[in-house]
Structures are given as C-alpha cells and as structure tokens.
Amino acid sequence: MPKFTRRSFLQQTPISAATLSLLPAAPSLAAIRQSPELAAPRWSATSNDSMVIHVNDVATGEITLLVGAQEIVLRDPGLVAYLIEAAR
C-alpha cells in the first residue's frame, strides 16, 4: 500500500475506462446510501455529465459519487486502493 495520509480528495472525470470497468465488476461494490433526488436520470457511460469521486474514508474504502444531482455512497476498498495508486 502506498504511503497516503487519511484524507479526502476530489477527482474529476473523465475517469479512465479501466476505472469505469471496475465499477460494475468490483465484488465489494455496494451502494450504501443515495441522495433523495433519485428521480434525476442516472448517469451513463454516454453522459456528458462529470462524475466527481470523493473518498470519504480511506480506511473503510467509503466513496461518494457525485453525478448530476445525485449522491451515491459506496464502499470499495479495492477501488480506493486503485485511486490512491493513480494519485501517486
């Protein structure tokens, strides 16, 4: 594991294709909270909307995805590790 302090950071899209491919495949991926604005259209790979990923907690792998008017909270230590590696 790279040296990385417990902190949050913002990462703006475009997300690499490799990262996107992780999202549906990651076995630990689980949406644990969503914002109430679920009536808004969901983000898709063809959308022009940016997606902002906020790592809430490196230790637990909790991530917030901000896309459109939505906020989706996930827990995925593997993805967090990947992002930390990409940020080195």
Partner 1 sequence: MSSHREAPEISKDPVADNTDVYAFVSPDNPNTVTLIANYIPLEGPAGGPNFFEFGDDVLYEIHIDNDGDGLDDITYQFRFQTTLQNPDTFLYNTGPINSLDDPNFNKRQFYSVTRVKNGHKAVLAEALASPPCNIGPFSTPNYAALAQEAVHRLPDGETVFAGQRAEGFYVDLGSVFDLVDLRPFQDLHINPLAAAPGVNGTNRLNVHTMAIQVPKRMLTRDGSNPTNPNDPRSVIGVYASASRRKARILGPNADIDEAGPWVQVSRLGSPLFNEVMIPLGLKDLWNTKPPKDDKEFLNFVQHQEVPQRLTEFYPGVFPNLAAYSKPRADMVAIFLTGIPAGVIPGFQNFTGKTLADLLRLNMAIPLATTPNILGILGGDLAGFPNGRRVFDDVFTIELRALAGITIPLVDPSFTPDAAASKFTDGLTPSDITSPFLANFPYLGTPYSGFDNPSS
Give me the residues that bind partner 1 (CB under 8 A), please. Answer: 10, 12, 35-37, 49-52, 54, 66-71
- The distance of closest approach from Cβ of residue 47 to partner 1 in the complex, given in angstroms and rounded to an integer, is 11
Q: Which is nearer to partner 1, 33 or 78 (CB)?
A: 33
Order the strands of the 10-12 sheet from edge to edge. Answer: 10-12, 51-57, 62-67, 70-75, 31-34
Q: Which is nearer to partner 1, 26 or 54 (CB)?
A: 54
- The distance of closest approach from Cβ of residue 1 to partner 1 in the complex, given in angstroms and rounded to an integer, is 26
